[in-house]
C-alpha cells in the first residue's frame, strides 16, 4: 500500500506562495501609503503657497491696479475717515510715504480701527476708487515690543 501524504505537494506550494505573498503585500501597502503621503504633502504645500498673496501698498496699487481684480491692500489709516450709514469711507497711505488711496468699505469694522493704525483689506478697483470686500478689514494692533523712537 502506498502512503499518501496528508497535504499533497500542490497544497504545500500554495501555502508557501501565500507566505511569500504576505511579505510582498506588506511592501506594496507600505509603498502605496508612502506614495499617498507624498502626494498629500505636495498638494498641501501647493495650496498653501498658491493661496498666499502678497499685500500691496497704496503706491503699488495706484501704479498698477487692474479694474475688477482683487488685491490685498495694506497701509495706515489716514485721519478723517467717516461713516455714511453702514458704509465706511477712509483713505489708506503707505507705511513710509505720502501716497494714499480712497477705500469704500461695508462690513464688520474691528474695534481697534482708527487713524494711524495699520490695516489690511481686500479691495477691487471700481471707477477710480477702491471698494473693500465685505468683512475683509483687519486691523493690525501696534506691538508693545517695538522700540520707542529716541527723544
Residue boundaries of the structural domains of the chain: 7-52, 58-140
**Closest to 137 measured CA to CA, from 116, 115, 111:** 111
Q: Which three cell numbers mark 117?
A: 493704525
At residue 20, the pLDDT reads 63
At residue 24, the pLDDT reads 83
Rg of the Cα trace of the chain? 32
Write down the pTM of the prediction: 0.60
pLDDT tens digits for the chain (151 residues)?
666 666 556 655 666 665 667 778 888 999 999 999 999 999 988 887 776 667 888 988 888 888 888 889 999 999 999 998 889 999 999 988 888 899 999 988 888 899 989 999 999 988 878 999 998 999 987 766 555 656 6
125 CB contacts (<8 Å, ≥6 apart)? 61, 65, 66, 67, 68, 69, 71, 131
CATH code, residues 58-140: 2.40.50.140
At residue 95, the pLDDT reads 86
Amino acid at each position: 500500500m502506498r502512503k499518501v501524504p496528508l497535504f499533497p505537494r500542490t497544497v504545500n506550494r500554495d501555502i508557501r506562495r501565500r507566505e511569500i505573498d504576505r511579505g510582498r503585500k506588506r511592501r506594496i501597502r507600505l509603498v502605496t501609503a508612502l506614495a499617498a503621503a507624498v502626494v498629500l504633502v505636495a498638494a498641501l504645500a501647493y495650496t498653501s503657497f498658491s493661496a498666499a498673496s502678497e499685500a500691496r501698498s497704496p503706491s503699488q496699487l495706484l501704479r498698477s491696479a487692474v479694474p475688477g481684480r482683487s488685491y490685498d491692500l495694506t497701509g495706515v489709516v489716514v485721519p478723517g475717515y467717516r461713516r455714511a450709514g453702514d458704509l465706511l469711507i477712509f483713505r489708506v497711505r503707505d507705511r513710509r510715504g505720502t501716497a494714499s488711496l480712497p477705500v469704500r468699505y461695508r462690513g464688520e469694522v474691528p474695534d481697534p480701527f482708527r487713524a494711524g493704525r495699520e490695516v489690511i483689506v481686500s479691495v477691487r478697483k471700481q471707477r477710480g476708487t477702491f471698494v473693500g470686500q465685505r468683512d475683509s478689514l483687519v486691523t493690525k494692533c501696534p506691538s508693545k515690543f517695538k522700540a520707542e523712537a529716541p527723544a
